[in-house]
Amino acid sequence: MPGGLVVFIILIVLILVLLASCIKVVPQANAMVIERLGGYLATWGVGIHFKVPFIDRVAKRVLLKEQVVDFAPQPVITKDNVTMRIDTVVFFQITDPKLFSYGVENPIMAIENLTATTLRNIIGDMELDETLTSRETINTKMRASLDVATDPWGIKVNRVELKNIIPPQAIQDAMEKQMKAERERREAVTRAEGEKTATILVAQGKKESAILDAEAEKQAAILRAEAKKEATVREAEGQAEAILKIQQANADGLRFLKESQPDGAVLQLKSLEAFAKAADGKATKIIIPSEIQGMAGLVKSIAEVAKEDK
């Protein structure tokens, strides 16, 4: 093979390699910052791009996805002079590749230092108890401060979270004792409320039982009174009915006697029978009508005649 042909082939291969190196494809969620002769030229987005060989170069490849950085615990001092350690998690996204490339030398280190100083400023205005119960407030303040500070760097801080708040061991022991005492207090209160409720329920049960007993006794007394009243009424009605029947019998006897029109002898005999009943030995004084006296003498005479006959 002639030497000139070999040189030509080598040149062709070099040209093809050079052209291939000048073709750049930017993938999704990425960007490239291009410089020409050392100065900023353009920011390439998604797609295929061509650069001038030996003049243009890719200065920086930038990831546009949201990124998360977890910073190591930072020592902070509260308003009441308690030293604690807090580690934070920052969620950020690059919005301007040019500012991100030329704004700060080391953006991640800058964000970490900025986070630490901002955290110290916020915690320094809060006491320990407030710090432990105000995570959301601290997160909101830090996000707002970091977002403003990182805006010239082409970075958007979307969220800041306090991952851990680590107080000193003495404070942790005191908090545990406090929580234990609080749990024991709640237990005692719950037990006392249970005993109180049980006592109230027992008292209410006794009260309702006494009320029911009183109601039962009342009803029994009413029933006994009504029964006695009914018996008295029935007895009175029976006596009245008996008297009525006796009077009716007497009236009927008189009526029958009147209708039979008895003679004098019968009347005298009835009078004598009545006298005999009256003189049964119980009376101390007897007043005898004149008619009966005559009748008695007649009876005596008849008795004497009967004796003589014998």
List the CATH number of the domain containing 127: 3.30.479.30
Task: Point out the least confidently predicted range of 40-44, 68-72, 92-96, 297-301.
Answer: 297-301
Q: What is the pLDDT of residue 254?
A: 67
Q: What is the pLDDT of residue 242?
A: 82
Q: Summarize pLDDT for 160-217 with one digit per residue, the tens.
A: 999 888 888 877 777 778 888 888 888 899 889 988 999 999 998 888 888 988 888 8
**pTM value surpassing 0.75:** no
- Domain of 55? 17-63
| Residue 162 included in any domain | yes
Q: Summarize pLDDT for 264-310 with one digit per residue, the tens.
A: 655 566 665 655 555 555 555 555 555 555 554 554 554 554 455 54
| Residue 24 included in any domain | yes
Q: Do 275 and 301 belong to one domain?
A: yes
Among 83, 84, 68, which Cα is nearest to 164's? 84
Among 39, 31, 74, which Cα is nearest to 56's? 39
- Other Cβ atoms closer than 10 A to 87: 17
Mean of the pLDDT values across residues 235-244? 84
| Residue 266 included in any domain | yes
Radius of gyration of the chain (CA): 66
How many structural domains does the chain have? 4
Among 268, 290, 286, 265, which Cα is nearest to 277's? 286
Q: What is the pLDDT of residue 96?
A: 93
| Residue 46 included in any domain | yes
Q: Do 57 and 81 belong to one domain?
A: no
What percent of the chain has pLDDT above 90?
Answer: 25
| Residue 172 included in any domain | no
73: which residues sit within 8 A by CB, 6+ positions away?
A: 85, 86, 87, 164, 166
